[in-house]
Amino acid sequence: MNKYLAACFVLFTCFSCDMKNKQINDADINTSFDNFQPRFLDAYWKANPSAAIFAGYGKYYDSLVIPGSAAFAGSVSF
């Protein structure tokens, strides 16, 4: 019984290892994040123009929401 468990353990260990040794390139990760960051921030600032104004980003000055019942109803329906 112990030999059977030991053989199963050895087989499991051998087949569970990644034999290809994939290398993750830090430059690729940084490039990917650098491409994602402006799209994320633009979408965030479009949805929250007051945060954009607070950060000094002026693209969404004209879409600033004035608090009121109509603005609240629009945000609830979103």
Enumerate the H helices of the chain as residue ranges: 2-16, 26-47, 49-55, 69-77
Mean pLDDT across 46-65:
87
CA distances from 37 to 41, 46, 69 (A): 6, 14, 33
Nearest one of 40, 58, 37 to 49, comparing CA atoms: 58
pTM here is 0.53
Residue pLDDT, tens place only, 21-46: 567 788 888 998 999 999 999 999 98
